[in-house]
Chain A
Amino acid sequence: MSTRSTPVEVSGFRFRLRPHRAAELSMLLFFAVAMGLPLLFLVAGSFNLSPPGKAAVYGMGNWLRAFSDNATIEALWMSFLLSAVRLVPAMAIAVLFAWLIARTDMPGGNAIEFFCWLAFFIPDFPLTLAWILLLDPNYGFLNMLARHLPFVDGPLFNPYSFWGIVWVHTSAGGIWFKVILLTPVFRRLGASLEEAARVAGADTLAMLRRVTLPLLAPMILAVAVLSFIRGLQSFNTELLLGTPAGIYVYSTRIYDYIRREPASYGEATALGSIFIVILALMLFFYWRFLSGKRKFTVVTGQGYSIARVKLGKWRSLAFAGCVFYMAVMTVLPLVFLIIGSFMRRYGFFDISSPFTLAHWQNLLSDPIFLVALKNSLIIATITTAGGILLYSAVAYLLVSRRSIAGPALEGLCWLPHVLPGILLGLGILWLFLATPLRFFFYGTVWGIAFALMLSDSPVTTQAFRAGFLQLGSDLEEAARVTGASWWYTYRRILLPLLAPIAGAVGLMNFGGALTSISTPVLLYSHQSRPLAILLLEYSVTGELERGAALGLLITAIICLMMLAGRKLGLRLSGLQ
């Protein structure tokens, strides 16, 4: 085993090796086509007066028609109003939960945190359906109960209203997502910073007011602004609760334009374009705001805080409050979703034998359901596998310090984070209609998977990126020096090491693909209809009981998947 002086294994002359650069450029090209083109088509389409597929005639007609209609302005205004109003209770509750979990001696903090994590995965469409079952003016259970109260004649609650939409959002995943985001922030705030305030003579309240909250304010504000922007993407709840009452947001208005007979593509794209401009402006200011505040976000200090605020006699009250909130906002609707799926006619408890298995039997034997289930599984599998392959490669390029196109690539990757699903769907619809891509993608499961994969790019890329950063470059370089090619290293070293992350984001994306409605709603056809769309169809055609069964089924699949993932020790490393 001596060092022989045989020649090194030189493969002859090579051009300055640039497979790395080539990969980078092809990624950039892919994203430019996959994300840039739909946006471009969307904007161009808004000036095109003839329907897609026909020879283009350009003009301002779409814009004039869209904005001479008062409803368009109202829809835009309603989008902002809804997103802003519901942010107030959501942020207050999320901050309170995060603070109680992370910084106080409230009992059962871990259990509550786990529940938040689980509740985050409950899809919002079945939840909205559940609230309809509880609050509907005609058959809603709570309204029927309220009738027994004195001085109540008509229905007490009405979910088909502005406040109904706000209420349902306050129980949906978004609020738990904020808790999940904020809890580690509260926890990581350096214990020493608070302890220094204590030593300097501050009591609990003074410390909270003068140290804790000012330090966390930028982060809380950042979460709030992001939530506001993401709130504008909301579609499901607004469609189910707003449309019957004539309350439209821009996304349901776009849906309305496209589903009309004949479809008004022009108006839809005009509305989508103006919304993209507004979104871009907001993002610009959000970014400016974030970069200005960066000096604050690094003030995380060292060590986790061990000293927690003593709540004293409020201890059990705080715990009871949390449990009550979760019971009313999550458990109660789910329970009624279960009851609803077993009732012959929902709300009619007085008829003979009100309970039945018929809805479940009908659902599970419905050939349309079986096709949709198959479609959903195919779509979710393609989306998940494609996303893992593509975004792990993108993340690898982003962390490699040789990257030149890094910022551009990263920017494109983040785009779908703020681009509403319905606009992404609309842009991609245009891309398919106007190019030969339609032969393969239009109305097929592949087209839907393509759109969903794009919408997964921010979180997936970010998770892999964090993984690569944590691994460092030594493990990879060690393999290269021992003689392994890049591809061999990627397969045998990098991919196995990143398997936990791939598993975690894979589960998330799989679940996301099963539940997404706003992204595929403009792209599906009768052959490629996924489960979530079937659920939408049941809901709008009034088959609530069967819808409840399907909604429960989807919710159960998602929750089981996430629990299994947690059991396997997978962590959402990218989100933390």
Chain B
Amino acid sequence: MVPAVLEFRGVLKSFQTVNAVDGVGFSILSSEIFTLLGPSGCGKTTTLRLAAGLEEPDGGEILINGITVAAPERGLFVPPEKRRLGMVFQSYAIWPHLTVFENVAFPLRVRRESNAVIRQRVSQTLESVGLDGLAERGATQLSGGQQQRVALARSLVYQPALLLLDEPLSNLDAKLREQMRFELRALQRKLNLTVLYVTHDQTEAMTLSDRIAVVNRGRFEQVGPPEEVYEKPATAFVSDFLGRTIVLEGTLNKTDGGQWVELTHGARLAIDSAQLDSLRDGAAVRLSARPENIEILPAAALGKNQIDGVVEQVDYLGDRFEYHVRTAGALLVLSAPKRDRYGSGAKIRLSFEPSCLSVHPR
């Protein structure tokens, strides 16, 4: 079996009394983008720095391509320069006293490559990130997007085993961010890169990743492909962190005929049976759903899995409307396209797709 490019086994790291990384274990496979997603201060950057060797773990084991690079119990620690990883810093960390060419050539000069090799590899790498022609530019004369490309080229030029990206897009403006996201994905496919990506931006994580780990307080809440993490959040934190969530409370009702949740005021919603094995009949549960998966229908339209509601407030957001809907004892905020329009006080019906409802014990 091919070993994972990067593997964490029960890694611990604490600063003073806080466990920044609290017994984390995961593996990154070759050619995948693995994303650590979480709020600031959750330990995702520390995890990345542990992989890079910029922090020493307090416990556990870190392996790169099956070789242990950190194991504090055995007194083993390989410093960053011996790990052959590439890293793009949030600040890009472009050395201001060197030109673009010398910035990118630095890792090769460290390795005492010949000048011919350096010239060839640097120009090849600069071309692949779209910076050809800027080689002699001073590093400080570049725009944010160009600096980012230099940082990327610098971390790719020596063909690292793993590319570490620490919030690489967060200092770019919205439009450029979108473009770089696209290019980054294309580059990763083209060069077959293995990437550990850290971000707090949900959209970035969703569009770039093969797998996402949602990090909270130094622990992994859920690891899985973007769609799974978003549609089937394993914990309340995950569903809350990944975009907006609406929550309804009720009790579970399991019969032979089907499974549904009884809400207040007699309303009920059928749910997928797959996720209910651990919950008993009559258990108090919390139903969560993404607002975009809930359809707003006129009161007259009758269909399956619907509950009644009343519009309390309407906000005009330019490209869409936002409705504050009172239903089943809760106040939900839902978006709807402009073609349907309901006034304040209108009676409506909300339609739920059973597979889009997650059930968690209360």
Contacts and interface: CB of A to CB of B under 8 A. Distances in A.
A13 B110 contact: no
A492 B90 CA distance: 22
A489 to B, nearest CB: 8
Interface residues of B, number: 55
B83 interface: yes
A10 B67 contact: yes
Interface in A73-95: none
A9 B82 contact: yes
B78 A11 contact: yes
Contact of B194 (A3, A14, A481, A485): A3
Nearest to A482: B107
Contacts of A483: 81-82, 84, 107, 110-111, 158
A435 interface: no
A372 B245 CA distance: 82
A488 B110 contact: yes
Contacts of B287: none
B161 A14 contact: no
Contact of B81 (A1, A14, A15, A485): A485
A403 to B, nearest CB: 15
A496 B89 CA distance: 21
B79 A484 contact: no
Interface stretch (B91-99, B130-138, B319-327, B348-356): B91-99
Contact of B82 (A2, A4, A8, A488): A8
A481 B80 contact: yes
Contact of A484 (B31, B89, B106): B106
B301 interface: no
A147 to B, nearest CB: 63
B64 interface: yes
A26 interface: no
Contacts of A5: 2, 5, 30, 65, 161
Given A4-B159, A472-B91, A483-B107, A11 B77 contact: no
Contacts of A7: 65, 67
Nearest to B74: A13
Contacts of A6: 65, 161
A493 B160 CA distance: 21
Interface in A165-218: none
Nearest to B96: A497
B69 A10 contact: yes
Interface string A111-146: 000000000000000000000000000000000000
Contacts of A1: 124-125, 128, 156, 159, 191
A479 interface: yes
B330 interface: no
B170 interface: no
Contacts of B309: none
A327 interface: no
Interface string A29-73: 000000000000000000000000000000000000000000000
B64 to A, nearest CB: 5
B191 A14 contact: no
Tell me which of B65, B72, B84 has the highest count of chain A C-beta atoms within 10 A of its own C-beta: B84
Given A2-B159, A481-B54, 17 more contacts: A1-B125, A2-B192, A3-B161, A3-B162, A3-B163, A3-B193, A3-B194, A4-B159, A9-B82, A10-B82, A14-B76, A480-B81, A481-B52, A481-B81, A481-B86, A481-B155, A492-B106
20 contacts: A1-B128, A1-B191, A5-B5, A6-B65, A7-B65, A8-B64, A9-B82, A9-B83, A16-B72, A477-B80, A478-B151, A481-B52, A481-B85, A481-B155, A482-B106, A482-B110, A483-B84, A483-B107, A483-B110, A485-B110
Interface of A: 1-11, 13-17, 472, 474-475, 477-485, 488, 492-493, 496-497
